[in-house]
């Protein structure tokens, strides 16, 4: 518990200022993270999705997969986001598109993100998604697992 608190304080100290939309972070969707959580554990990335349940008093909200057809359903998969300090971060409204820049933490099978910044401005969200698509290898799909062949064989 103390190590987790120290790590959280270190992240906050490093990122005391706002992160601009110009900063480059790998972008991941909820289903990608939940499919292979060990690949993302401990990494800082931009989590893209739709805000689900928002709890102002506990400064938490859920992010649902933006591409899932049943994102609003009762069985929707989600990543819980914690905003560690009372500050300048915006809490999204339920149903709002969101990008959360934060550290993915997988403890005892529970996946969550500790937010460093929450972006709800559509222009900033599109800018981050566009930057990620430029840096992504076109032959590698975003959910590919390292070391596992997931591409169809070339017919050449």
Q: Is residue 16 part of a domain?
A: no
Q: Is residue 77 part of a domain?
A: yes
Give residue 91's Cα distance to chain centre: 15
Q: Containing H/E element for 51?
A: strand 44-55
Length of the chain: 156
Query: Domains in the chain: how many in total?
Result: 1
pLDDT by residue for the chain (156 residues), tens only, comes to: 555 654 544 454 444 444 444 457 899 999 999 999 999 999 999 999 999 999 988 899 999 987 764 545 556 789 999 998 766 788 999 999 999 999 999 988 889 999 999 999 999 999 999 887 655 544 444 444 444 444 454 554
Q: Is residue 116 part of a domain?
A: yes
Query: Quick one: tokens of 77?
Result: 């998969």
pLDDT at 18: 47
Q: Is residue 2 part of a domain?
A: no
Q: Is residue 94 part of a domain?
A: yes
Find the domain containing 110 and state its range. Answer: 26-135
pLDDT at 4: 61
CATH of the domain at 31: 2.40.50.140
Cα distances from 144 to residues 33, 43, 67, 111, 141, in angstroms, run 11, 16, 16, 19, 5
Q: Is residue 1 part of a domain?
A: no
Q: Is residue 117 part of a domain?
A: yes
Cα–Cα distance measured from residue 14 to residue 149, given in angstroms and rounded to the nearest whole number: 37
Q: Containing H/E element for 29?
A: strand 27-29
Q: Is residue 18 part of a domain?
A: no
Cα distances from 8 to residues 18, 37, 69, 78, in angstroms, run 16, 19, 34, 22
- pTM score, whole prediction: 0.69
pLDDT at 84: 86
């Amino acid at each position: 518990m103390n190590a987790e608190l120290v790590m959280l304080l270190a992240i906050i100290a490093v990122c005391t200022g706002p992160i601009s939309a110009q900063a480059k972070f790998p972008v991941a969707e909820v289903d990608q993270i939940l499919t292979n959580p060990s690949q993302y554990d401990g990494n800082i990335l931009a989590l893209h999705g739709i805000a689900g349940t928002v709890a102002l008093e506990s400064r938490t909200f859920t992010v649902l997969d933006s591409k899932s057809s049943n994102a609003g359903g009762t069985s929707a998969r989600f990543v819980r986001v914690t905003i560690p300090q009372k500050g300048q971060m915006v809490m999204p409204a339920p149903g709002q598109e969101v990008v959360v820049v934060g550290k993915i933490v997988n403890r005892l099978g529970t996946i969550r993100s500790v937010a460093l910044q929450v972006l709800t401005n559509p222009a900033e969200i599109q800018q981050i998604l566009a930057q990620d698509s430029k840096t992504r290898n076109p032959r590698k799909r975003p959910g590919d697992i390292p070391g596992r062949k997931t591409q169809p064989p070339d017919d050449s």
